[in-house]
Structure 1
Amino acid sequence: MSEVAKKPIDFMGFRKIASVLSIALIVISIGLLAVRGLNFGLDFTGGTSVELEYQQAPELDEIRTALADAGYDQFVVQNFGADTTVLVRMAESSNDELALQITEVLSAGGDELQLVSSEFVGSQVGDELKEDSGLGLLIALAVVLIYVGMRFQFKFGIASVVPLAHDVIIVLGVFALFQWTFDLSVLAALLAVIGYSLNDTIVVADRIRENFRKMREGDSEHVINESIHQTISRTINTSGTTLVVLVALFLLGGEAINNFAIALIIGVVVGTYSSIYVSANLLVILGVDREDLIVPPKEGLAGSEEETEEPPEWLNRM
């Protein structure tokens, strides 16, 4: 095999281009969030939830069509537990007869159904949910910073948390751009993206730490390049198989989980990119080197030269 074939891909050679791309995406995403904002779903804005029980499993698309033809908008229709149980969530309304009206509209097509329950959730609960979800994301990032800082080194902690924030902001920016509904399922997808991206970043960070201790030649960029090259096949295989499942979930899972699948697809793609370029790039910028990863000798174990240069004679006989 030739030397050219043996030479790893120069990932760090593109780090400046990657930096410009990441900064541009972050700025655009923040701008979209500030100007357009997120299209919050009923979980955050409040509304009326109506549970209906059918005699036979209905087609959800037919229910959506019937509600749209009746003049309703901003609603969500999904199965709730069993195939015969349907949950209809409408935008906030002060109409106490809304549940009965929905029942009449849907039974007009000849389907036998029964109103099981109706519940109204005010916008104040949605506002509290927004604050709690934002706080939850911040706590998750803080815990990651503490864990990685203790597990590896503080520079690795920063290089792990920043990519996670990078991934979340870009996913939110895409949702703001297309005004896709942001509900609790998308929030759950964001938390899953954090876990997925962190796992990939930890794998690369662990290999970088190992190579800093093993490789005696080359600067930080060379060691990081080698580490990424050694883990890139694992990264591509993991991301590829995950995306296959998510695309199938998006195409076959139905409207209720479409946004969940979209958020995860974007998050996996961006998370794979950030674990290679954002995290590793930050380690170079922060100046990580071998001295940062040297394990300090334990107190009382630094003996004389005679004790450290050669093992005891009895050990040589083993």
Structure 2
Amino acid sequence: MEIFKFKRDLDFLKLRLPAAILSLLLVSASIGILVVKGLNWGLDFTGGTLIEVNFAKPADLEQVRGELAKGGFGEPAVQFFGTSRDVLIRMPPQEGAKAANLGDHIVASIKAGNGEEVTLKRIEFVGPSVGDELVEQGGLAVFVALLCILLYVSVRFEWKLALGSVVALAHDVTITLGFFSLLGIEFDLTVLAAVLTVIGYSLNDTIVVFDRIRENFRKMRKGTPEEITNNALTATLSRTIMTSATTLFVVIAIFAVGGPVIHAFAAALLMGITVGTYSSIYVASAVALKLGLSKEDLMPPQVEKEGADLDPLP
């Protein structure tokens, strides 16, 4: 059931030129920021140390972070690990005297702040070679995802729509990465998972629009490609608004109360869903129309009946 009903079609494509300029500016700025600043790679990619400590009483994570900062350990990732008394600390690579006996230095810094009994349970080192491998595999995962999407949409719809969907997805990923680079938010495997989630979410929204576009091209006898596409966008707008709104409510709740450990994941989803909703309307469809999408591209192939080409009997 549609929540929002419109008496006439909204002229979305009237704004496709300003939207194209905005998208080009955002993508260009994102690429520039990525080139200049790069991403703030997390421990999963750079290597470092995982340290698990046990507290005699439930730990205060904010206090632990504060004591580690006072001890000169920067801003390590600190989170509960199973129980409120077990804490996992993810340290970036250390240099100098702190690199030696790092676990003992961490425990000493925490004890100096609260005086509670703290026990070192385990310490693991992640080498840079593992980090380099994850960077390569993460980038490969995104590339393969886009390639598979291109093939899938080409088979299900038409290559012009397929190229439009891939351009929209690349648009979403680039702007999301530029957002992370601009703010210096740590990019780890959870954020990579969020980026892949954004790809799936944006594709799902785009496929719904494309399905209506194909249906309209086949059943609407009159109208230009722009008018037919506007009709499809208007018809799916109710679904797009409700899906995006309900998803954003959940993501905002995760960002607000989920704690600092999941902030980066939620921030990636917030940015990706917002940009993905916009690109489904103004990027994917606009690119397909720019490539010359027409009714002939989406009409089902005519199947000749057996014997139809035979001359009739006299």
Rounded to whole Å, the distance in 2 between the matches of 1:218 and 1:258 is 47
**1:59 and 2:60 are equivalent in the alignment:** yes
Separation in structure 1 between the aligned mates of residue 81 and residue 107 of structure 2, nearest angstrom: 16
Q: Which moved more, 1:97-106 or 1:26-35?
A: 97-106
Aligned residue number for residue 29 of structure 1: 30
CA distance in 1 between counterparts of 2:116 and 2:216 reads 66
Q: Which residue of 2 aligns with 1:276?
A: 281
Equivalent residue in structure 2 for 1:208, among 213, 218, 221: 213
Q: 2:257 aligns with which of 227, 252, 259?
A: 252
Query: What's the CA shift for 1:302?
Result: 7.4
1:50 paired to 2:55? no
Which has the higher mean CA deviation after the structures are superposed, 296-305 or 177-186? Answer: 296-305
- Deviation (angstroms), 1:304: 7.9
1:82 positional shift: 2.8
Deviations 1:262-317 (A, max 9, x none): 11100010000000000110111011111111111335457489xxxxxxxxxxxx
Indicate how the Cα distance of structure 1 residues 31 and 248 shifts in structure 2: closer, same or farther if over 3 A, else same.
Answer: same
Structure 2 residue identity aligned to 1:92: P
Q: Give the AA of the match of 2:60.
A: E
Shift of 1:37: 1.0
What displacement does 1:74 show?
3.7
Give yes or no for contact 1:40–1:181 (8 Å, CA) kept in 2.
Answer: yes
State the match for 1:16 in structure 2. Answer: 17
Contact 1:133 1:187 in 2 (8 A): yes
Rounded to whole Å, the distance in 2 between the matches of 1:212 and 1:124 is 52
Output the TM-score relative to the length of structure 2.
Answer: 0.92
1:242 aligns with 2:247: yes
Amino acid at match of 2:103: A
Pairwise CA distance, 1:63 = 0.7
Give the conservation status (yes or no) of the 8 Å contact 1:92–1:122.
no
Report the AA paired with residue 81 of structure 1. G
Q: Comparing 65-74 with 103-112, which one deviates more in the overlay?
A: 103-112
> 2:183 aligned with 1:181, yes or no?
no
Q: How does 1:70-149 map to 2 (within 5 A)?
A: 70-93=71-94, 95-108=99-112, 109-149=114-154
Contact 2:51 2:88 in 1 (8 A): yes
Cα-to-partner distance string for 1:228-249 (whole Å, 9 max, x where unaligned):
0000011011111111111111
Residue ranges of structure 2 left out of the alignment (5+ in a row): 1-5
1:176 Cα deviation (Å)?
1.2
The one-letter amino acid of 2:298's match is L
Q: Distance in 2 between matches of 1:71 and 1:192?
A: 36
Segments of 5+ residues of structure 1 without an aligned counterpart are 306-318
Q: Deviations over 1:75-96 (max 9, x none)?
A: 1101223332211011113623
1:219 match: 224
What is the rounded CA distance, in whole Å, between the counterparts of 1:111 and 1:20 in structure 2? 58
CA–CA separation in structure 1 for the residues paired with 2:244 and 2:232: 18
Name the CA shift for 1:6/1:302 in 2 (closer, same or farther; >3 Å). farther
1:298 is aligned to 303
Deviates more, 1:87-96 or 1:260-269: 87-96
Q: In structure 1, how many angstroms separate the alpha carbons of the residues matched to 2:32 and 2:213?
A: 35
- Residue number in structure 1 paired with 2:201: 196
Are positions 1:165 and 2:165 aligned together? no
**Number of paired residues?**
301
Alpha-carbon distance in structure 2 between the residues aligned to 1:254 and 1:69? 21
Checking the alignment, whether the CA contact within 8 Å between 2:173 and 2:195 is kept in structure 1 is yes
Q: Percent identity?
A: 49
Q: Does 1:39 align with 2:43?
A: no
C-alpha distance in 1, partners of 2:163/2:122?
A: 49
Root-mean-square deviation (Å): 1.6
Provide the rounded CA distance (Å) in 1 between the counterparts of 2:134 and 2:141. 10
Report if aligned partners of 2:13, 2:230 keep a CA contact under 8 Å in 1: yes
Listed one character per residue, the Cα deviations across residues 5-27 of structure 1 (whole Å, up to 9, x for unaligned) are 72211001000111111111111
Give the whole-Å Cα distance in 1 for the aligned partners of 2:140 and 2:235.
36
Letter in 1 for 2:235: Q
Question: Which amino acid in the other structure matches residue 60 of structure 1?
Answer: L
Residue 237 (structure 2) pairs with residue 232 (structure 1): yes
